[in-house]
Structure 1
Amino acid sequence: MPSAVNGDQNGKASSRSPSPAPAPPVAESPGPRAAALERIFAQALDATVKRCSYANFAACFPTPAHYVPENLDAFWRDFTGRVGDAATANFNQILAARNVVQSLNSLDTLVQDAKKRKEQAEAKANGGPIEPPTPPHTLPAQTLTLAHLQPFLSAQTQTLEFQLSKTQQANTQLLSEIEAQRAELAALVNGLEHVVRDLEGSVEMLSQDDVQNLTREVLDIDKDLTG
């Protein structure tokens, strides 16, 4: 039943546009664009901190610079270091809160996929004109709906088929057990029938006249012995 439904939907979707493949998992490690963003930020932060040189910093505090320059130098180094650390921490917090790395990695994947599709289209065209793909926004709503539902329906179909296969195997095993029990019951009934026939034969034999006469003679002998 699920296969039939899925097959019908497959036919409708393939007649309009190919169904998109399920989105691959996005890597947590920075890709090319995320790494470039981090590198640009590091360069910009380093350039900003360097503009706050000791000479510029000391010009804002002439008295400490004149009397305790070593203390002011230590304070300047600590200040610029804290500024850089705070800026880096805020930057990383924004990256994590906005899922910037994952989004840029998704963009990298889309760009690479687009390049592969272009190369495949060029190779398929074999020097001829390349037919551009149908823009998704021009497709009817039903086609888009089926295309987005196709991965989910395929996964559900596979799950149902797997469960159906397990149920069929369990039913086959149960049927084998029932047939074995039926054969055992048949053997028991056959044995009981033999016992019943033996008992009926014994009763029939005891009811014959010869046996009855022999029984009376035995009883008479027993009376004579006991009398």
Structure 2
Amino acid sequence: MAEQSSQATGAPPPLGLRASRLHQVFDQALARTLRANSFANFASCFPTPSRHVPASLENVWRQLNAKLEESAKAEFEEIIAEREAVGHLNELDRLVNEARERKNAEGKNGEGQKTGNAPHTLGADELFKAHLTPYLQEVQSSLNEKLEETHVQNAELAQTVQKQRLEIEQLLSHLESVVSDIEGAATASTNFSAENHLREDAVQMDEELNVRPGL
């Protein structure tokens, strides 16, 4: 009834046992991925910024992790909504519970007794459920495959982050080279100014000597 009410209002259905477990597995996998990209590991890739601007580097690390987490969760929720996974898993929970209750009831009736297991004795609703169960199991298998794909995509995202680290490191190395060139140019300019000053003094002394008579 709660699921029908949520469908009528357009709200997502509440999470059943299997749907909750699916979200839990995803959250655990994502948490492991984010833990692997710790600040210590991230900072070890950029020793120069980690020594001189650790706060800025940590801010970059936090933004990268937040973006990774946001993208992974958004894609996961998109897959769940597209496949209507929560509703199907909730229906599977209901069918499993009914089957368990029916099995317990049959056990109470005594061994060897059959209580309406013949197909021609089943009602339309029970036949529908019997045909629906394999489909729901297939959906669950498909969701497991999608979850595995999400793990692979998370690994690819981690590789992308690593490439970005290398690019940032190359950029910082280039900046250090530019700073070194600027410092060299400043030193050369200072030396040139000093030499030019000495040259002017020599010219002035020569002019003074030429002006004096008898020299």
Using CA pairs below 8 Å that are at least 6 residues apart, which structure has the higher relative contact order?
Answer: 1
TM-score normalised by the chain length of structure 1: 0.46
TM-score normalised by the chain length of structure 2: 0.49
Larger Rg: 1
